[in-house]
Structure 1
């Protein structure tokens, strides 16, 4: 019998019964009590502190705001999905724009060089954000693969204001990660950045050098909340 099997057998033959998980107090990682305005203000302040940009728009006008971002950034080729409502609406709005829409539902081997060399930006939806850390969270799918948020020099993420949570713990609890842990969740807290041994910070070395978060609000366009 191997050492591994010996250990497992001893655990199974415990005389005092199976081990039980100790009770845990998670109060320190939840219960912030922030309202929607404070939550959004914290998120915007924190993601802005690491060079993330936030653009506010109403649900009715967000594609107009998107077109303005693309024009301001000089985007000519935009990678995006097809099936997600965010991608589908963006495609309809940009059908006559001077932006080439790049399909991403392809095997990476067939367009890897194109993605790294000629795609200017990637557009994704988000499942929400975390106010405490200024982070977006995404759950990539075949329609919105992770590479369109990690490879192009500009990542544009569409966030619905009401999906903000106070803490990461709140996200995990509310969305039942304990029962269905995502295999490839992404937490994004700004554009890609790194520093050398002299602590000189550089953006875009290992991923997008710019991040624009397009926050959609119900009703009229909201002004940037005060921190």
Structure 2
């Protein structure tokens, strides 16, 4: 019997019965009780404080805002998925533009250099956002793989205004992650940045240098429709 098996055997045969998990008090990580307006304002304040950009759009006009954004930024090649409604709507809206749509549902080995050298931006949906930390959370899929938000120099994320929750704990609870934890959940709190020993920040060294969040509202966008924060 190995040392590991011996230890486990002793634990299973404890004289005072099996071990039970202690009671946990999660009050410190939940219960913020912010309103929808407070969540949105807090998320926007925090993510823009670290050089993220927020653009308010409606669900009817968001693809026009996307096309203008791509034109203003000089994006010629946009990587995106196919199956998610966000990707499908974007593809339909951009089909007659000069933007080349780059398919990402390919074997990584066949286009590894292309995605690093010839993709200007990546477009993704997001699962939602966290007001407490100003973070987006993504659950990558084969249609929208992890590298889509991590490799291109510009990451454009589409967030539903009503998908912002108070805390990370609330996301875990509401989405039932305890019963089916995602294998590759991502938390994004701004563009990629790093600092040297003198604390000089540099953006885009290990990932996107720009993060643009299109916040989609059901009706008229909050504040100036289509405006930026």
1:162-177 counterparts in 2 under 5 A?
A: 162-177=162-177
Q: Which runs of 5+ in 1 are unaligned?
A: none
Shift of 1:4: 1.0
State how 1:54-65 maps to structure 2 within 5 Å.
54-65=54-65
Q: Which residue of 2 aligns with 1:206?
A: 206
**Partners of 2:165 and 2:159 in 1: how far apart?**
12
Determine the structure 2 residue equivalent to 1:9: 9
Post-superposition CA distance 1:105-154 (Å, at most 9, x none): 00111001110001000000001000000000000000000101000000
After superposition, the CA RMSD in angstroms is 1.3
TM-score normalized by structure 2?
0.97
Partner of residue 43, structure 1: 43
For 2:150, the equivalent position in structure 1 comes to 150
Match of 1:111 in 2: 111
Q: Residue in 2 aligned with 1:127?
A: 127
Q: Secondary structure at the match of 2:178?
A: coil
Q: Which whole-Å deviations, capped at 9, do the CAs of 1:84-108 have from their partners, x for residues lacking one?
A: 0000000000011110000000011
Q: CA deviation at 1:220?
A: 1.6
Match of 2:216 in 1: 216
Q: Extract unaligned runs of 5+ from structure 2.
A: none
TM (norm. structure 1) is 0.98
Cα distance in 1, alignment partners of residues 177 and 52 from structure 2: 27
SS at match of 1:178: helix
- TM-fit CA distance, 1:5: 1.2
The answer as to 2:191 corresponding to 1:196 is no
Structure 1 stretches of at least 4 aligned residues deviating more than 3 Å after TM superposition: none
Does residue 138 of structure 2 align to residue 138 of structure 1? yes
Q: Which residue does 1:74 correspond to in 2?
A: 74
Q: Distance in 2 between matches of 1:98 and 1:223?
A: 31
Give the C-alpha shift of residue 219 in structure 1: 1.1
Deviation at 1:12, TM superposition (A): 1.2
